[in-house]
Homo-oligomer: A and B are copies of this chain.
């Protein structure tokens, strides 16, 4: 699951992103500095350049995963992205997902459940969206919504949502057992930065579509959300499906951090290029003859 422990650190990092950002090391979310860059010493300019350079490496690893998927390999990767409004979930999908071949991605955004989804168990729509072999799945929101707004607003009774932590852990263990490396990132935005980003959206007509008046109401439940997030970390973090806490006030950092975590996950698969399933010399001769 984990990469090799003695692997060289990426440039600019003093601690591996996997160690520096793991929720078991960052302390509680309520005290987290959303502008911090744990483990990373570079500034915005260095981090932006690093994303391009490391993105090329990520693209190579993704192609190797894809090649294995085409060659009866059974491995895949699932990146779960959670975070409060304006934390930049969509930006992660666009700017980190955008670093690799889009054919190799299986992106799913989970909104309010549809009437059909509501007739099923809360994990039903999640199962259907899992990445097939060879792909990197990205969930923009996920089954964790069922213990976040659902819990904060009592959309189901406590006896229902309180069982979900164990159900989620069991589900994720099954997913991992089937060959999928799971990593989960929670993007942390500060109250002040969120306010600024909401105002930015209201000052730019090309961003009106991103604004939802209910986002303002959700700000009134800030402490409840922090508590709900902390419970998630306490109940569903594990080496099989680790949670990473990433400050999102500096978008360049959150993107670089997620890129590094994906690289680490892909390197941890220890894949190689698939061997030829044909006789190379014979095929060379056949092509040359035509």
Instruction: Indicate whether A113 reaches chain B with its CB closer than 8 angstroms.
Output: no
* A284-B202 CB under 8 A given contacts A208-B276, A211-B276, A290-B219: yes
Please measure, in the bound complex, the distance between the C-alpha atom of A205 and the C-alpha atom of B211, giving whole angstroms. 49
18 A-B residue pairs with CB within 8 Å:
A71-B209, A93-B101, A94-B102, A97-B103, A102-B102, A103-B109, A202-B283, A205-B273, A206-B273, A208-B273, A208-B275, A208-B276, A208-B277, A209-B273, A211-B283, A216-B283, A216-B287, A216-B290
Chain B residues with Cβ below 8 Å from A93 are 101-103
Additional A-B contacts beyond A103-B107, A211-B278 (5; CB < 8 A): A97-B103, A198-B287, A202-B284, A208-B275, A213-B286
With beta carbons under 8 angstroms apart, the residue of B105, B198, B209, B284 that contacts A67 is B209
| A interface majority secondary structure | helix
Which of A210, A219, A290 has the largest count of B CB atoms less than 10 A from its CB? A290
| Interface positions of A (Cβ within 8 A of B) | 67, 70-71, 90, 93-94, 97-98, 101-103, 105, 107, 109, 140, 195, 198-199, 202, 205-206, 208-211, 213, 216, 219-220, 273-278, 280, 283-284, 286-288, 290
Closest to A220 in B: B290
Chain B residues with Cβ below 8 Å from A198 are 287
With beta carbons under 8 angstroms apart, the residue of B102, B209, B278, B290 that contacts A98 is B102
Closest to A206 in B: B273
Which 9 residue pairs of A and B lie closest in terms of their CB atoms, listed nearest first? Answer: A67-B209, A208-B276, A94-B101, A102-B102, A97-B102, A209-B274, A198-B287, A206-B273, A216-B286
Please measure, in the bound complex, the distance between the C-alpha atom of A220 and the C-alpha atom of B286, giving whole angstroms. 11
Copies in the complex: 2
A252 → chain B closest CB, angstroms: 18
Chain B residues with Cβ below 8 Å from A70 are 209
Chain B residues with Cβ below 8 Å from A220 are 290
Please measure, in the bound complex, the distance between the C-alpha atom of A90 and the C-alpha atom of B102, giving whole angstroms. 10
A216 → chain B closest CB, angstroms: 5
Please measure, in the bound complex, the distance between the C-alpha atom of A10 and the C-alpha atom of B286, giving whole angstroms. 43
Closest to A64 in B: B206
With beta carbons under 8 angstroms apart, the residue of B98, B211, B273, B278 that contacts A101 is B98
A71 → chain B closest CB, angstroms: 5
Chain B residues with Cβ below 8 Å from A103 are 90, 93-94, 97, 107, 109, 140
Chain B residues with Cβ below 8 Å from A209 are 67, 70-71, 273-274
Query: A288 contacts B102, CB within 8 Å?
Result: no
